[in-house]
Structure formats: C-alpha cells, structure tokens
Structure 1
C-alpha cells in the first residue's frame, strides 16, 4: 500500500489536500479530498486511473467549502460532523447568493453526518470525526487504510484550537499519539484568545453599565460569542442579555 499527499489548491493558500491510497492489486486508485476551498479542481488533480472515494469536510468556513460544487465527482459522499451537516443547507444557500457557489443541491444530497467509524470502502478505508474546537461543528478526521495486514492510521486535523468552541470540545493532541501520519493545520492566530477575552470583557462592561451593545460577527463566530457570554452570566452572575440575529 502506497499513500501519498498532494496540496489541492497551493496557489490559494488554503489547506485543502488530496490523499491517494494505491494498492498493487486494484486497477483504480481511491482518493480522499480533505476540504474543498477556493480553486480546488479534482478533474485536474485526478488521473484516469483514479477516482474520488470521499470528501471530508472539516467545518463550514468558506475557505474550506467554497469549491465543493466543482470538486464533487464520482458520486463521492461528503462526510462531516452532525454539527456541520445541520447548518449546511443555510450555509450553502447563502454561499450561492453571495459567492456564486454551484451545484449546492447535489452537494447537499451527498452530505452524510457521521459520529463514529464509517466505512468508505469496507475495511479498506474507514474514517471517524474527532473534536478540534475552532468553530461550532468543526472536526478533524481519523483515516484508517488497510491492505491485508498492512494498516496505516492518519489524522487530518483541519483548523483546530485546544480550547472549546461554542460547546464543541477542543483538540486534545495527547489523545492521538498512535497515528502514523499527521496532516496538521492551525488557522487561529496566537492573539485570538487575548482578543476574544477582551471582546467578551468589553461587551459585559457596557451591557452592565446600561448600554445597548451591538456586536457584529459572522454566523459561526456569533454562536461562539453567545456561548461565552452565557458562561459569563453563569460563572460571574453578570447579566449579559444576548439576541442572535441572522
């Protein structure tokens, strides 16, 4: 079994990539695409003797799903967490209006939410989502490829944080010490936690001073922020009323 990696959109700077799993006794090589950010072209990436076995969607940020409609082919399932799957209808509808996303109905038909090990190609290829923080519903994936007694376990983190995000557990690096191959990405800047703490503190101070406070944020960041403000209410007995709009 020969496993190889190819960056799927290197000129766009986004962390979408293709994993090839070649076996000597098969004519066609199954490939797994992890995320489909801007500029991913599977027709260009895949050769005539290769096919797309699955797309693993780590989370619903535009730089990870923007090319889903163009990248999807070969009837491949689009596997993701239940949290991400539950919002994709709204996310892709908005994406079609704002960013010209294509084939959104076909994409939604192929989405499958998973929470445990899922057989992509029987015992030959299995995947399982794992918690990674970063955003509501975000996940990484354990990927297990087997050819007889030859077995390889891979971990694709996607974007991750060690802290929780809107009730979704953060990434625990010590839980995956036995992986053979690690595809590691981390989009969150070092200043994120400090900036987020300052934002929550400012909102809390102003609302408790009697001010009406409007905090604009993206949909997923808004949910994250609401959870944190609810935590301030619970832990510090500080009243921070929140209305989520949109």
Structure 2
C-alpha cells in the first residue's frame, strides 16, 4: 500500500501573552490505507478525524506546544487511543493550555517514527518554541516544519519562549541541510521548498 500525505485546514484561535488571534492551521496526516500519524492537533477533533477516516492512528505528533497546535490533543487521544508525542522542552507552553493532562511520549532529536511504510525523523529545531521539532520523511521528499519555517522565512519569534537567533540557526543547521527539492509542509499556509527558502536564509 502506498504511503501518502493527507491535508486539511482547521480554523480557530491562537492565544499567548494575553493576546488572541484568529488562525487557520494545516492538518497533516501521514500513512497508508490502514495506519497513520497525525501531526499536530489544532482546533477541532472532527476536522482531524475527517482526514484520518477509518485508519488506526499510531501517534499524535506535536511540532510544538502553542495552543493552536495542541488544544484538542487530549480529546483526540481519547477518540483514537493513540499517544501524544511532544519535546519536553515545550512543557512551559503545554502547561499554559493543559493543566490536567500531560503528553505520553517525549520527542528528541533523531527519534524515528515508523508509519505506513515510511519513516518520520525528528529534527529538534528550537526558536519558535524551545521544544519545536520538524519531521523529515526522506523517502517522501518532504519535511513537516510546524511553525519553524514558512513560505517566506522563519516562524514568528516575538512572543514568550521564542528566539530569533536560535530559530535561524536551527533552520540553517537542520533544514537547509536537506535536499533542495524537499517539499516543506508548514503549520499554516502554503507549501514551499528548501530551495525556495534557502536564498533568504543562507
């Protein structure tokens, strides 16, 4: 069975540092016809389940713990009976959203997540958040960057727990090392490629 990447958009809010914004988040689901991994858990369990369909969810992998990426993670975990995975450096952000729940498994640089005939390699890319990670699928020729890299450059670093110098170094060291034709699937907005972003970041 062929591995595929499925996509939808879910709308809701992002809140941090006393401000709230309307946002559209990408939902990414990677797998085959029988099993999959969900990347991030924004806004709506129903929106995510519509992409998952009748497949078995092996994990809910959070690229970072801003509320628009993890808000429905505990409810989704209950619905699909799968572990939530998060880098432990993002606990301060997780705690802002979830005081009664924790994630199940820690992410770390180099962890490999096997699903549906492909492998997602965890790249720790702090800057947007201390525990931000990207997920590289070499055989699919793509990387899921959460809010670390977008079409047009790095993710925002103007809020608590973020650092502009750190995110640029993360991108240079971990993402610009990937092949130029690698497709970048972002947390918000349109896809891009490593080649397209290299010019503005190198």
TM-score bracket for the superposition, by shorter chain length: 0.5 to 0.7
Structure whose alpha-carbon radius of gyration is higher: 1
SS at match of 1:53: strand
Structure 1, gaps ≥5 residues long: 23-27, 95-103, 145-150, 188-246
Q: Quick one: which of 60, 69, 75 aligns to 2:65? A: 60
How do 1:128-139 residues align onto structure 2 when only pairs under 5 Å count?
Answer: 128-131=122-125, 133-139=127-133
Q: CA deviation at 1:89?
A: 6.0
Q: CA deviation at 1:159?
A: 0.9
Q: CA deviation at 1:121?
A: 4.2
Bigger relative contact order (CA 8 A; separation at least 6)? 2
Structure showing the higher strand proportion among its residues: 2
Q: Is the 8 A contact 1:141 1:157 kept in 2?
A: yes
Structure 1 residues 218-238: Cα deviation after superposition (integer angstroms, max 9, x where no partner): xxxxxxxxxxxxxxxxxxxxx
Partner residue, 1:4: 5
- Distance between the aligned counterparts of 1:59 and 1:68, measured in 2? 12
Q: Is the 8 A contact 1:16 1:33 kept in 2?
A: no
Q: Quick one: which of 105, 108, 112 aligns to 1:114? A: 108
Partner residue, 2:27: 17
Partner residue, 1:45: 51
Q: Quick one: which of 183, 186, 200 aligns to 1:181? A: 183
Partner residue, 2:17: none
Q: TM-score, normalised by structure 2?
A: 0.63
How do 1:1-246 residues align onto structure 2 when only pairs under 5 Å count?
Answer: 1-9=2-10, 11-12=11-12, 13-22=23-32, 28-41=33-46, 42-48=48-54, 50-72=55-77, 73-84=79-90, 86-87=91-92, 90-94=95-99, 104-105=100-101, 108-121=102-115, 124-131=118-125, 133-144=127-138, 151-160=139-148, 161=154, 165=163, 168-170=166-168, 171-172=171-172, 173-177=175-179, 180-185=182-187
Q: Is the 8 A contact 1:8 1:40 kept in 2?
A: no
Partner residue, 2:18: none
Structure 2, gaps ≥5 residues long: 13-22, 149-153, 190-202
Q: TM-score, normalised by structure 1?
A: 0.53
